[in-house]
Amino acid sequence: MATVVLKAGDDVSTDVIYPGRFMATVLPTETPQFAFADNTEFNAKLKSNQVPPGSIIVAGRNFGCGSSREQAVSTLKGYELVIVAKSFARIFLQNSVNLGLRLVEIPEIEASDADELDIGTDIVENKTTGRRFNVVPLPKTRQAIIAAGGLIPYTRKMVTERLGSTDQARNT
């Protein structure tokens, strides 16, 4: 069970999640301080450690639209937030899978600030309202990356399999 800490609407852009003026900061260890920077109240709440890992952002359609900036994912991953949305923009979804930010797609989701959600694999139950919602599963190709612990370990395995024996040749 986890609590909704932010309720957002449709088309939450990466400029809102991680404003462009902080793009010179790139490292995942440094980006969390600028999460939703222009929402000063929520940003302050995140930085004050009042938001436990697993807390939920609930949003409408097309969450994460806009830029390919990976900071928009690493900034949320830094707090281990879970994003429940009606739909996600393509690059944001892909970046989230690659970095291990948990996304839950529910076209019918209805939840408000401070609601308690029980997030299962197939079903999410809003404990506050008693309503249950079906989760749209991620494609298997994405699940394989999540199962590997993200794209870096997934690619590391490929690199080792494909290049390990030929490394000598590559270096000559």
Partner 1 sequence: MGMTIVEKILARASGCSALSAGNVVEPAVDLAMSHENAALVINQFLEIFEGTSIEPKVWDSSKVAIVFDHRVPAESSKTATNQKKVREFVAKDRISKFHDIRGDSGGICHQILPESGYVLPGSVVVGTDSHTTSHGALGAFAFGIGATEMASVWALGTVLNVEVPETIKVNVHGSFPSFVGPKDLILHLIGKISAQGANFRVIEFHGETIRTMSTSGRLVLCNMSVEAGATSGIVPADGETIRYLRDEAGVNDPLTLVLPDNNAKYVQEIDMDVSGLEPQVACPHTVDNVKPIDRVVGTNVHQIVIGSCTNGRLDDLQVAARIIRGKKVSKNIRMLVFPASGKIYGQALERGYIADFMKAGAVVMNPGCGPCLGIHEGALADGEVALSTTNRNFKGRMGNPKSEVYLCSPAVAAASAITGVITDPRKGEN
How many whole angstroms separate alpha carbon 135 and alpha carbon 84? 10
How many whole angstroms separate alpha carbon 142 and alpha carbon 98? 8
Nearer to partner 1, 49 or 171 (CB): 171
Q: From residue 40 to residue 59, what is the string marking binding to partner 1 with x (rule CB under 8 A)?
A: --------------------
Q: Footprint of partner 1 on residues 96-135 (CB under 8 A)?
A: 98-99
For residue 71, the SS3 value is helix
Task: Return phi, psi of residue 22, to 5°.
Answer: -105, 15
Which of 43, 52, 73, 127: binder of partner 1 (CB under 8 A)?
73
Contact by Cβ (8 Å): 31, 71: yes
Query: Cβ contacts of residue 49 below 8 Å, gap of 6+?
Result: none
Which of 49, 169, 170, 172: binder of partner 1 (CB under 8 A)?
170
Which residues contact partner 1 by CB under 8 A?
11, 13, 15-16, 19-27, 38, 61-62, 65-70, 73, 87, 89-91, 94-95, 98-99, 139, 141-142, 144-145, 150-152, 154-156, 158-160, 162-164, 167, 170-171
